[in-house]
A and B are shown apart, each in its own frame.
Chain A
Amino acid sequence: MPWAAMARMAGRRLLVAVPVLLAVTFGVFAIAAASPFDPVKAYAGTGGLTASEQTLDQLRANLGVDQPLVARWWDWLTAALHGDFGTSLVMRQPVGQVIGERLGWSVLLAATAFLLAIVLGTTLGVLAARRPGGWLDRGVTSLAYGLEAAPPFWLGLLAVWFFALKLDVLPAGGLTDTGSTVVSAGQVATHLVLPACVLAVSQLPWFVLYVRQGVGDALEEDPVRGARARGIAERTVLLGHALRSGLLPVLTLIGSRVPELITGALLVETVFSWPGIAAATVEAATSVDFALLAALTALATAAVLLGNLVADLLYGLADPRVGFDG
């Protein structure tokens, strides 16, 4: 393993990530400054309607809203570097605590779904590529196109209706049963099945189509013809030769799907009341909780950059010709 080259690449990406995160957080503050949103009124709530001008001004000074945009951004940034992201208005607790409590559940859901999508997508893609134009290929590709167009929240709602209401085999949402107070592994597992499957199915089409294309192209190439000419079993040709070179484009797809995965998780967590970060984002947005939204946007950006890095590292490992120069 070329650890040194990989570490150098990770280091370079980290250097790029710093200005990107700075720019994104500044952009978030700039949008907030341009919007009609008033943090003082949001903070005071209904009390703000009856409060005197003096109290509001005092509040304004306390919250630091009277300062210019750049100063506010800089204050937030320096506080954030010390681990203080402000206080969430909706959750009534520090933003860091909100994120810390929920991050694990979101990662669990997204990782399970992503793995499921990759495994399922690779299997279906290889099966479809084996006989291009066959009934399996046509069935799988049309299904993939249909799923590509289907909104994940709609899939989630229909899954709830079918599996939770009609068949009554899986819970409809949440992390544990309504009566229980402890979070046990078995409960979480049964509650994870449906959201993870829906998220995986909504990400599936891209993997299926990429693998199908990659393996299909690889099957036409000379190494595969050579392998067949040597009389190697079809199974080995397909899995050992065609799949190995056909999986390369899928590795880049892994990186570029991370933003879509976060987008999908936003919707799926909302449908299934999953206590993750994405559901908190929606709550924060509907009640205009700026502190939480800003931290979550920065976090999502960091996740996307991390996803890109992982994909490029994997690609460099899988194809030594590419190397770790990016």
Chain B
Amino acid sequence: MAEVAEKAVKAEMSEQPAVAWRVRGVRRRSTRTWRLRTSAAITLAVVVAVLLVPPLVQLDEQAVDLASKLQPPSLAHPFGTDDVGRDLLLRCVYGLRVSLLVGVVAAVVATVIGTAVGAAAAAAGGRVDRFVMRLVDLFSSVPHLLLGIFIVAMFRPGVWPVVVSVALTHWLSTARIVRAEVLSLRSRPYVDAAISGGASRWRVTVRHLLPGVLPQAGLAAVLMVPHAIWHESALSFLGLGLPTHQASLGTLVQSARGSLLAGDWWPTLFPGLFIIVPTLAIAGLAGAWRERLNPRRRSELML
């Protein structure tokens, strides 16, 4: 039996250019594990750095050391120093801390709004569902950064307006995902069983439908964090984000514009890299998570 099977496999392999195919398959799996491990390592490093460095190494945002201003990257200052002599690596870590904090809070708020709206729309169905989905379409026809700029401009820049503006512009995709999931769960037998057992609409939604969509909502929340960081840094860059004493990565890029025009590239380059690398790491982790949730769909990094 085994021989027959082997022969069949061999016959198949001789028909197709199977060798190349197989090698590629193996390589793809190894890149996948490599990608997952690198993403996990980077995310871990970022979290540890953000949590541990500020208590250990104090950075005085007001401190000025003009003797060592705008030094190019060296051993003492791996990222160089900024225009008043502060160490850029330290400032980037502090900036990442602010950006990440705003990003995570905004992503959580956006996901909670999105999940609640999406689940409510799908569970209520009918006219409510149609109305809520029109509302979602309405929100998505305003460019999100413009809406964010408008909100922040009206409420004066600061941490909370930024969080609110990010959350208010980013719940739409979560609402759509959660609604679609709930709609597909609603026709499952266990929901029918709960309804015929006399469970109320509220109980069915909270006890039977919501737990089913939590993994998807969690995934959406994780993917939302880079978006929120991106949005926050764009607002900060435009001067509508966080104040300079709570410098985020966007604020760092903004304040480095002067020295960039004088030809010093490092205060601009490194904060940007601090946005890109954690974003890719989070996207890599989210990709692996999505593969777990839905193994049949081919995983692509998605932002």
List of B residues within 8 angstroms of A150 by Cβ: 272, 275-276
B191 contacts A by Cβ under 8 Å: no
Picked from B149, B237, B272, the residue with its CB within 8 Å of the CB of A285 is B149
Nearest B-chain residue to A34, judged by Cβ: B154
**Shortest CB–CB separation between residue B73 and chain A, in angstroms?**
15
> Interface segment, B108-116, B119-127, B194-202, B260-268?
B260-268
**Shortest CB–CB separation between residue B83 and chain A, in angstroms?**
15
B94 contacts A by Cβ under 8 Å: no
Q: A151-B233, A158-B268 are in contact. Are A20 and B138 (CB under 8 A)?
A: yes
Number of B residues with CB within 8 Å of any CB on chain A: 48
B240 contacts A151, C-beta separation under 8 Å: no
Interface Cβ pair total, 8 Å cutoff? 140
**Shortest CB–CB separation between residue A75 and chain B, in angstroms?**
19
List of B residues within 8 angstroms of A172 by Cβ: 261
List of A residues within 8 angstroms of B261 by Cβ: 160, 165, 172
Give Cα A215–Cα B152 distance, bound, in whole angstroms.
42
List of B residues within 8 angstroms of A270 by Cβ: 237-238
**Shortest CB–CB separation between residue B255 and chain A, in angstroms?**
12
Nearest B-chain residue to A155, judged by Cβ: B272
List of B residues within 8 angstroms of A259 by Cβ: 140-144
A146 contacts B28, C-beta separation under 8 Å: no
B154 contacts A154, C-beta separation under 8 Å: no
- Tell me whether chain A's interface is mostly helix, strand or loop, or mixed: helix
List of B residues within 8 angstroms of A20 by Cβ: 137-138, 141
Nearest B-chain residue to A138, judged by Cβ: B31
B272 contacts A296, C-beta separation under 8 Å: no
A305 contacts B by Cβ under 8 Å: yes
A209 contacts B by Cβ under 8 Å: yes
B251 contacts A by Cβ under 8 Å: no
Taken residue by residue from 146 to 159, chain B's Cβ proximity to chain A (1 for < 8 Å, 0 otherwise) reads as: 11011111111000
B43 contacts A by Cβ under 8 Å: no
A157 contacts B283, C-beta separation under 8 Å: no
> Considering the complex, which residues of chain B in the window 125-180 have a beta carbon less than 8 Å from any beta carbon of chain A?
137-138, 140-147, 149-156
A296 contacts B276, C-beta separation under 8 Å: no
A149 contacts B156, C-beta separation under 8 Å: no
Taken residue by residue from 278 to 292, chain A's Cβ proximity to chain B (1 for < 8 Å, 0 otherwise) reads as: 000110111010100
**Shortest CB–CB separation between residue B233 and chain A, in angstroms?**
6
> Considering the complex, which residues of chain B in the window 227-268 have a beta carbon less than 8 Å from any beta carbon of chain A?
230, 233-234, 237-240, 250, 253, 257, 260-261, 263, 265, 268
List of B residues within 8 angstroms of A284 by Cβ: 153
**Shortest CB–CB separation between residue A183 and chain B, in angstroms?**
24
Give Cα A89–Cα B138 distance, bound, in whole angstroms.
28
Q: A35-B155, A161-B263, A286-B239 are in contact. Are A154 and B268 (CB under 8 A)?
A: yes
B42 contacts A by Cβ under 8 Å: no
B237 contacts A288, C-beta separation under 8 Å: no
Excluding A35-B155, A150-B276, 10 further A-B contacts by CB distance (< 8 Å) are A20-B141, A31-B150, A37-B154, A151-B250, A262-B146, A282-B239, A286-B238, A288-B153, A293-B149, A297-B142
Query: Which residues does A use to contact B, with CB under 8 Å?
Result: 20, 23-24, 28, 31-32, 35-37, 132-133, 145-146, 148-151, 153-154, 157-158, 160-161, 165-166, 172, 209, 213, 259-260, 262-263, 266-267, 270, 281-282, 284-286, 288, 290, 293, 296-297, 300-301, 304-305, 308
